[in-house]
């Protein structure tokens, strides 16, 4: 039987999988046969144990990296003493002034994971290299939630050109989030393609090696042989798994809420123009009210100062908040795409099972006719085919036996395919449960950091604004009002 393609969930191009609790035994043993499903929990663990369960470790500390890793405290990024943090920094324009100009970034990894020969490698990579890494991970780990790569052309980035300092910095921050999520993923951070990306100086050679040896394709010769009406991407799963229905609904609610926050925060950026207009109005009023011209002008100056503070806050905390919010929405979308792919695996199993039942029913009907019994009720298509066979004179016992022989072979083939599809669907489901635990932990940590930085920006801005307004209050109090 040809390969049916229902077993390719995760192809192992990573070093041997072990729990983080025993990472000292990790090596580059190519003979280790790992099917990629050896430490998968059938149900989602509690939030505080999610990462540990997902990684096969008893540790509960999440090794999340911040946007700057110049000073790394290993205790904050450790799994049972093993830790990793990646820093994307120092963008440089290569071949500046030529048509081949591009921006490269220094990518520094700090880790004590034994699979890294160098504990602090640093390499230079361009944006297309990050895109290649993302695409290879998608092909190699279809059941994993692959962190989204920043859009190649984001209109909100462009204020001048794609080599402007603002564009480059925003892209660097998005690339930083991309590698942070890889570093905190118990499977991706140990894959061979990631190790090569982070360590090798001969990246062009290694990249072509990965291109020449792609992960196994998902051959679907059996499913391709079925009619389009049987296997349809838009067909609904007959028996939805409540765990994944709830999971998908929760992600949609999260995206709706976060999207609303994004819109409201984006709207607040326009307040700068409002305060500038108010300052101009108060200044104009000062020329009319000759008795309080100076206090009104000073008030207008403070209004302009406040608008400047808001502008600074937009650059320092609001825009990064919006950028990370957009990235987190994309990350959630990638997770929902993985759930949709899991549903497709279940649908493959259901459709193959239904097809097997139909073929087995046809075989039983022919066996009953050959024995002189009345066959079970048939559909219109089968009835018409029987009538045509009678007219052609091909409806004899020898023809039926030949058809039965072919159907027996088809049933055996389908039984094997159904078994494989069922195993694949179950394994994919277990993998998605593990991925959900990792995603939830990453999401919680990123939300904590994102909201914390936004709150710090608000506090700093408001504190400075209060100091400014406090200095003008005595001047306003000296205004005399004659009754």
Burial class (CB in 10 A: 0-12, 13-18, 19+), 119: exposed
Same domain, 184 and 289: no
Helix (H) or strand (E) segment spanning residue 356: helix 319-370
Return the higher-pLDDT residue of 115 and 37. Answer: 115
Lowest-confidence range among 42-46, 96-100, 106-110? 42-46
Identify the pLDDT of residue 18.
36
How long is the chain? 483
Identify the pLDDT of residue 217.
57
Same domain, 170 and 290: no
Give every CB contact of residue 341 below 8 A, 6+ residues apart in sequence.
Answer: 142, 143, 428
Say yes or no to pLDDT of 144 above 90.
yes
Residue 451 and residue 445: Cα distance in Å, rounded? 10
Same domain, 284 and 212: no
Mean pLDDT score of the chain, rounded to an integer?
Answer: 76
Percent of the chain with pLDDT over 70: 70
Domain boundary among 163, 192, 219: 219
Residue 265 and residue 267: Cα distance in Å, rounded? 5
Same domain, 174 and 315: no
Same domain, 279 and 190: no
Percent of the chain with pLDDT over 90: 33
Identify the pLDDT of residue 340.
92
Say yes or no to pLDDT of 36 above 50.
no
Rounded to 5 degrees, what angle do the CA atoms 21, 27, 31 make? 120
> What are the backbone dihedrals phi and psi of residue 113, each rounded to the nearest 5 degrees, phi first?
-65, 130
pTM, 2 dp: 0.73
Tell me, yes or no, whether 371 lies in a domain.
yes
80 in helix, strand or coil? Answer: coil
Say yes or no to pLDDT of 218 above 60.
no
Say yes or no to pLDDT of 37 above 70.
no
Q: pLDDT tier at 372 (50, 70, 90 boundaries)?
A: low
Say yes or no to pLDDT of 279 above 90.
no
Same domain, 271 and 393: yes
Task: Note the maximum CA span of the chain.
Answer: 119
Return the higher-pLDDT residue of 88 and 44. Answer: 88
Identify the pLDDT of residue 391.
54
3-state helix, strand, coil in the chain (%, to 5): 60, 5, 30
Rg of the chain taking only CA atoms, in angstroms: 31
Residue 385 and residue 132: Cα distance in Å, rounded? 52
Tens digits of residue pLDDT in 312-342: 888 889 999 999 999 999 999 999 999 999 9
Tell me, yes or no, whether 14 lies in a domain.
no
Q: pLDDT tier at 95 (50, 70, 90 boundaries)?
A: confident
Domain boundary among 219, 247, 278: 219
Q: CATH code at 451?
A: 1.20.1270
Say yes or no to pLDDT of 9 above 90.
no
Distances (CA, A) of 278 to 7, 270, 274, 467: 66, 13, 6, 20
125-148 in b/e burial notation, b at 16+ Cβ within 10 A?
bbbebbebbbebbebbbbbbbbbb
Mean pLDDT, rounded, for 467-479:
83
Q: pLDDT tier at 287 (50, 70, 90 boundaries)?
A: confident
Tens digits of residue pLDDT in 450-465: 999 999 998 998 999 8
Structural domain including 86 reads 20-219
Tell me, yes or no, whether 284 lies in a domain.
yes
Distances (CA, A) of 335 to 221, 287, 331: 28, 60, 6
Mean pLDDT, rounded, for 467-482:
81
Same domain, 211 and 280: no
Identify the pLDDT of residue 96.
82
Q: CATH code at 172?
A: 3.30.1520.10
Identify the pLDDT of residue 257.
95
Return the higher-pLDDT residue of 445 and 42. Answer: 445
Tell me, yes or no, whether 251 lies in a domain.
no
Q: pLDDT tier at 158 (50, 70, 90 boundaries)?
A: very low
Single out the residue of 46, 8, 40, 7 nearest to residue 433, CA to CA. Answer: 40
Identify the pLDDT of residue 53.
42
Tens digits of residue pLDDT in 10-30: 333 333 333 333 333 333 334
Helix runs in 269-292, H state only: 271-288
122 in helix, strand or coil? Answer: strand
Tell me, yes or no, whether 53 lies in a domain.
yes
Bridge partner list, 123: 107
Tell me, yes or no, whether 257 lies in a domain.
no
Same domain, 212 and 283: no
Q: Number of structural domains, the chain?
A: 2
Q: pLDDT tier at 81 (50, 70, 90 boundaries)?
A: low
Instruction: Decide if 395 contacts 366 (C-beta within 8 A).
Output: no
Tens digits of residue pLDDT in 388-437: 555 555 556 677 777 788 888 888 988 999 999 899 999 999 999 999 99
Say yes or no to pLDDT of 133 above 70.
yes
Domain boundary among 201, 219, 237: 219
Identify the pLDDT of residue 459.
92
Identify the pLDDT of residue 470.
87
Tell me, yes or no, whether 5 lies in a domain.
no
Same domain, 271 and 213: no
Identify the pLDDT of residue 300.
85
Across 2-11, 14-23, 296-305, which has the greatest mean pLDDT? 296-305
Same domain, 42 and 172: yes
Identify the pLDDT of residue 72.
44
Same domain, 369 and 278: yes
Same domain, 142 and 202: yes
Tell me, yes or no, whether 245 lies in a domain.
no
Lowest-confidence range among 303-312, 335-344, 366-375? 366-375
């Amino acid at each position: 039987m040809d390969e049916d393609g229902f077993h390719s969930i995760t192809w192992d191009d990573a070093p041997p999988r072990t729990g983080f609790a025993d990472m000292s035994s990790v090596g580059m043993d190519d003979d280790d046969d790992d099917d990629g499903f050896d430490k998968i929990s059938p149900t989602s663990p509690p939030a505080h144990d999610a990462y540990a369960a997902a990684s096969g470790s008893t540790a509960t500390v999440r090794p999340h990296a911040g946007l700057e890793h110049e000073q790394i405290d290993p205790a904050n990024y450790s799994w049972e003493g093993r830790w990793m943090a990646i820093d994307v920094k120092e963008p440089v324009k290569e071949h500046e002034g030529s048509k081949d100009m591009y921006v490269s970034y220094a990518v520094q990894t700090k880790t004590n994971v034994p699979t890294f020969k160098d504990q602090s490698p640093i390499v230079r990579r361009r944006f297309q290299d990050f895109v290649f890494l993302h695409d290879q991970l998608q092909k190699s780990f279809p059941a994993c939630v692959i962190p989204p790569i920043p859009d190649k052309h984001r209109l909100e980035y462009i204020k001048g050109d794609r080599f402007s300092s603002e564009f480059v910095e925003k892209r660097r921050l998005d690339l930083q989030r991309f590698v942070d999520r890889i570093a905190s993923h118990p499977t991706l951070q140990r894959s061979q393609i990631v190790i090569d990306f982070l360590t090798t100086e001969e990246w062009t050679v290694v990249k072509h090696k990965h291109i020449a040896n792609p992960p196994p394709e998902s051959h679907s010769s059996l499913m391709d042989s079925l009619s389009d009406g049987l296997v349809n991407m838009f067909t609904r799963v007959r028996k939805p798994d409540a765990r994944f229905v709830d999971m998908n609904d929760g992600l949609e609610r999260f995206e709706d809420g976060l999207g609303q926050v994004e819109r409201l925060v984006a709207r607040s950026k326009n307040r700068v123009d409002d305060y500038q207009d108010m300052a101009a109005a108060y200044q104009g009023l000062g020329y009319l009210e000759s008795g309080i011209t100076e206090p009104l002008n000073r008030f207008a100056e403070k209004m302009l100062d406040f608008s400047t503070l808001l502008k600074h806050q937009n650059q320092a905390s609001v825009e990064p908040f919006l950028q990370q919010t957009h990235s987190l929405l994309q990350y959630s979308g990638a997770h929902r795409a993985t759930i949709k792919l899991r549903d497709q695996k279940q649908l493959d199993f259901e459709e193959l099972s239904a097809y097997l039942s139909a073929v087995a029913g046809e075989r039983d009907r022919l066996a009953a006719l050959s024995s002189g019994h009345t066959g079970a009720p048939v559909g219109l298509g089968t009835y018409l085919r029987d009538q045509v066979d009678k007219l052609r004179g091909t409806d004899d016992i020898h023809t039926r036996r030949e058809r039965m022989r072919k159907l027996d072979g088809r049933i055996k083939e389908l039984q094997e395919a159904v078994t494989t599809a069922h195993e694949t669907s179950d394994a994919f489901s277990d993998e998605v449960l593990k991925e959900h635990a990792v995603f939830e932990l990453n999401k919680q940590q990123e939300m904590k950091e994102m909201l914390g930085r936004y709150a710090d920006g608000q506090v700093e801005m408001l504190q400075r604004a209060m100091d400014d307004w406090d200095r003008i209050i005595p001047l306003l109090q000296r205004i005399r009002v004659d009754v």
